[in-house]
Amino acid sequence: MAWDPRRAWPNQEMQMARRRLVELRELVENLSTANQPTEQVEQAASELSRFLVVRSVGHIEYVFETAISEYAEAHARRQVVNFLKSHLGRGNNPSPGKLVARLGDFDHELGSRLETFLREDDQYLKNELSAMVDRRNDIAHGKNVGIGNAKSIKYAELALVIGDKLIELIDPR
């Protein structure tokens, strides 16, 4: 099979997922800058900040798995696509090491390029992604995680950058 040039890349679902994450980030940003916020607004902003961390990590997982799936759809036989899809969606945490390893299993060169990207700027992206995944896991398991609005917004921006890089690297066209 070959990539159908009439199809959009990234696909509509990926574009919508990105747009929803941007909208959530903007909501948290707007709540955190409200003039004289009430206690309820502050509590809502705090809860939304934690949710934004969960969604940010989920965005990276979604983009990674959707891009791999789209690539397979465009280049592999149906049996390979079905096998691959049966192993996706299992909620693998996108820690830097796992992302690089999984992408490297798919294509060694792409794994190396992602690793180089994550190590830029004294490993800033790698360190922040690792911290974001750890915080997401703590939040998801009900631990009392305090996260400020500014940090959750930063994590969302980071997720968008990493998601965009994955879309660039795993281009099925």
User: What digits encode the pLDDT tens for the residues 141-164?
Assistant: 888 888 989 999 999 999 999 999
Instruction: Name the band, by pLDDT with cuts 50, 70 and 90, for residue 29.
Output: confident
CB 95 within 8 A of CB 130: yes
Interatomic CA distance for residues 143 and 88, integer angstroms: 27
Predicted confidence (pLDDT) per residue in 35-70, tens digit: 766 787 778 888 899 999 999 999 999 999 999 989
Bond prior to 10 in cis (omega within 30° of 0) = yes
CA angle 51, 55, 58 (to 5 degrees): 145
The answer to which of 1-5, 88-92, 104-108, 145-149 has the lowest mean pLDDT is: 88-92
Indicate the pTM of the whole model. 0.87
Interatomic CA distance for residues 106 and 100, integer angstroms: 10
